[in-house]
Structures are given as C-alpha cells and as structure tokens.
Structure 1
Amino acid sequence: MSTWLNIDLQDGMSPLMEQMIFFHDHTLMIIIMITVMVGYMMVSLVNNSLINRYLLEGQMVELIWTIKPALALIFIALPSLKLLYLLDEISDPSITLKSVGHQWYWSYELSDFKNLEFDSYMKSLDSDSQFRLLDVDNRVVLPYSSEIRLLTCSMDVIHSWTIPSLGIKIDALPGRLNQAGFMMSRPGIIFGQCSEICGANHSFMPIVVESISMSMFISWLKLY
C-alpha cells in the first residue's frame, strides 16, 4: 500500500501492474532525454553558439528533427499497444467475482462454488481497525496465482471498482455489466477505493482484497 508523501506508484501486486510500472519508467526516461536535449538547445541558442546557416536552413536539419520525434513515438507506442491488449485479455479464469456498487458500499458474489454473497461496509471510526477509512467488515478473499474474472455493475449511480496496486480500474454502471481480469502474484492485503464521484459518501466505500493461498481459500469457503 502507499505511504504518506509517496510520489511514486504503489508496488505492483499483479504481473500487469508490474508491466505498467516498467512502461511508466520506460516512457519517463524518454521524456527526460527529450527535455534535456531541448533544454540544452535552448540554452545554446541563447548563448548564440548554435546559430549558423546550417541550423537555420537545410534539408538535413529538417530531416533530423522530423525522424527523431517519430522514432521516440514508436518506442513509446509499441510497448503501450502491447500493454493495452494484455489488459483487455482474459484467458481461462479460475474464479469469477461479481461486484455490485451501492450508495455507499459494495456487494460481492462468488457463485462458482456455491451461492456465496456478502456486503462489504467500511468499518466505523470508533472500531479497532488499524487502517482508518480503508478497512471493511467483510473483505474479499481470493487466491493468488489464479486468474480472476471481475464482473461489475451498479444498483444506483456510477461507481468505479479501483485497486491501484493491481492495476485495475473498472466502472460499475447501472444496467450494464463490465468485465475485467487480474491475477495476484503474492499473498497480502490490498486496498482500493471507489474512484468515481458517486455522492456524499463517495470517499467512504473502500475495497479490501485479501490474497491467500488456494488451500487457505478452500478452507475459507468451508466456513460459509
């Protein structure tokens, strides 16, 4: 989870989020190189060290400052397109989780094994929760290293099921079923929140996913 004054991205809890972090760093390096080069040229022009007839006119100069931006865009576009297709791909999911947004809480259904349904409310401020405004009374328990299919919709207004460390953000729309896929790479507790302004208590409907092993997940299912 994130910490105070953290300006970096959260640590990735899924392979897709790790790829998005790699792409962010890759693009940032290209932007830094472009910024340094353009800044150096601007300073040099102010100092009159680059002003000559070869810079002000000539096909070679125009060819260079046309090809270089095109190459930079290609180096950004190719990994971006690959990542977009990976984010949209759902291959042979093991478990289907249905999330229904309400004002202002989430309802979950795990119907692959049996009719398991529960509501997830934020814990009150006077409870013994260690995570203020983030913990819930009923966490979503899912196994890691398993492909999860998420189906989401809303019963009233537009919500958004968002967990940054999983790299997932999907709108929950009334009258429409949206689908997304994710896979957690290690055990832990993952926090998220509704990221669509859905009303007065918009910031009080958190999302908590507990990532455990498959054997512990089966034991958890037996409790219901």
Structure 2
Amino acid sequence: MTVIRKAAISLAATLVAGAATAQDALGDLEIVGAPVPGGTGFQPSATELARDVVWLDTMLLVIITAITLFVLGLMAYVILRYNERANKTPATFTHNSPLEIAWTVVPIVILVFIGAFSLPVLFKQQEIPEADLTIKVTGYQWYWGYEYVDDDVRFDSFMIGYGEGNLNDGIVEQLEEAGYTANEFRLATDTAVVVPVGATVVMQVTGADVIHSWTIPAFGVKQDGVPGRLAELWFAAEREGIYFGQCSELCGKDHAYMPITVKVVSQEAYDSWLEQAKVDFPA
C-alpha cells in the first residue's frame, strides 16, 4: 500500500502542470469560502441551501436562548424563594395538574414549530433536482477522485504539498504556481472541481476504501461517501469564487490532508476549461 500511495503521489505531482494548463483559462478568482483563524460563525452563504441552514440555525439559537434564560430564571427564583431560610415551612402538596399539562404541551408545541421549519429545509436538500452538471466524486485514502460523467473528464485531486511535511519554500512555490498563497496550505488542491455559476450541480458521492465525507460549508452541503453505495447531493452556486472544504469523516491517519477545492466560474470560463480538461484529463 505504501508503494502504491507513493507512486500515486508522484504521479499527481507530475500532473500539476497539466492541471494548471486546464485552469489557466479561469483567471483570478476571489477566495470566498474558507476557514479563518478564530472564526466562530458560518462562511458566506453561496447557495440557497446554505442560506436556509444559516436561517434555521439562527432561529434555533433564539429558541434555545429563550428556553435557557427561562429555566435559569426559574431556578434562581426557586432557589431564592424556597430555600430553608426564606421558607421555613415547606409545602406538602405533590401534584399540580395545570403545571404538569403545561410542561407537557409547551415542549410539544415548540418541537412542532421547529419541525415545521426544519423539515422543508431537509427535504430541499434531499430531493435531488434535474442536474445541469453531474460529477461523481470518490473518496480515497487520502485524496479525491472526480469524474464529469457526461463529459468524459476524470482527475484525482491531491492536497498541494501532500506528503512533503510542514510548510516550506518548495510547497509555497507550488501554491503560488497554482494561484494560491501560503495561507491556503492544507486547503488548496492541485486540481480543483470547476463548475459554472448558477448551474444545478449534482454530486454522486461514494468511497473506494473507507467512509469519507464530501462537504463545502459555504454551499451548505455534506454527504458521506460509503463504499458500495452511491449517495447524492446538489447545489447551485450563486457567486463566482474559490471555495474550500475538508473530508469530514475520520478516515485514517491522513484524514486531515484531503481538502476539497471548488472553483465557481462564469459559463464562458467553464466552457473553455472543459474543452482543455477533455485533453488534459480524458476519462
């Protein structure tokens, strides 16, 4: 296995030049979806699905905060009002039917309210629309393989600098040649997925060895790639730019080194890239 992986990495390194040839036509793109140091919020939403997820998260946060403050206030009131010093003669009742009905009905109402808004978001993600572009993505230990099933294009995508240790001058040079900076180390790949802006893209996700997980946070999508199964996700990116993701299912010792790079470009740039990609990456 070690020999095979080293050979694959060497082959990937030799293909970087070809990858650059196909992607030269894309021009300079803004990095939109990327993690930031100390970040606690969501990445900028680049799809309708992502906006729905952010809105749902905000709504749930409001509900959770209100419940937490209510319970905290109730506990404080009970502690202060009914401690031994303030209430020397404790009550002897054991039941309060209206209160018991309330604490049963109110949580049910809250859960129904949450379900009424969360289930449509889930269904929108899971109901796969007709695709403008279909890409099959296969997770390997530890890189991604992509196949544009309708266009006879296939390539593997490795982290730039994979297998070369920590950031060094050689890796920085590779990143710069690919149009990145040292800030994108462990995020950028030698060959990116390229899709046209506004197109409905369906990703068919599977795994070749163990379970992997393909995700782009700014798109609001995540799907496990399970060996022997073909799952699907979809997105329609609304903004041109570069978006990063990471394998999100623990898949072995190099799990942290299989990033995902997606470039969203204009239809004209995509058509130009695809024409060259058919030459550089024939299926």
TM-score normalised by the chain length of structure 2: 0.73
Call closer, same or farther: CA 1:62–1:199 in 2, change over 3 Å: closer
What SS does the corresponding residue of 2:263 show, helix, strand or coil? strand
Partner letter of residue 256 of structure 2?
Answer: S
Structure having the higher helix fraction is 2
The secondary structure found in structure 2 opposite 1:79 is helix
**Larger RCO (CA under 8 A, 6+ residues apart):** 2
* Long gaps (5+) in structure 2: 1-33, 162-166, 176-180, 278-283
Aligned to 1:104: 142
Partner Cα separation in structure 1 for residue 224 and residue 103 of structure 2: 41
Task: Tell me the equivalent position of 1:18.
Answer: 51
CA distance in 2, matches of 1:73, 1:97: 37
1:24 partner letter: D
**Once the 2 structures are TM-superposed, how far is the Cα of residue 66 of structure 1 from its aligned partner?**
2.4
Letter in structure 2 aligned against 1:152: V
Counterpart of 1:43 in structure 2 is 76
The answer to which structure has the higher strand fraction is 1
Deviation at 1:122, TM superposition (A): 0.8
- Structure 1 gap ranges (5+): none
Q: Spell out, residue by residue over 1:187-219, the C-alpha distance to the aligned partner (whole angstroms, 9 max, x if none).
A: 111101111222221111110000111121111
- Aligned counterpart, 1:205: 258
| Residue equivalent to 1:80 | 118
Shift of 1:62: 2.7
Distance (Å, rounded) in 1 between the aligned partners of 2:266 and 2:190: 21
Post-superposition, which runs of at least 4 consecutive aligned residues in structure 1 deviate over 4 A? none
Say whether residues 1:144 and 2:183 are aligned partners. no
Amino acid of the structure 1 residue aligned with 2:185: R
Distance 1:39 1:120 in 2: 50
**Deviation by residue 1:39-90 (Cα, 9 ceiling, x = unmatched):** 11111112217x897x975433333322222221122111111111111011
Q: Helix, strand or coil: the match of 2:81? A: coil
For 2:197 and 2:142, locate their aligned partners in 1 and report how far apart those are by CA, in whole Å: 28
Deviation at 1:149, TM superposition (A): 0.7
Q: Quick one: which amino acid aligns to residue 105 of structure 2?
A: I
* Identical positions, percent: 35
- TM-score normalized by the length of structure 1: 0.91
Residues 156-197 of structure 1 deviation map (CA, whole Å, 9 limit, x = unaligned) = 222111222212211122222111111112111110111122
The residue that corresponds to 2:238 in the other structure is 185
Equivalent position of 2:104 in the other structure = 66
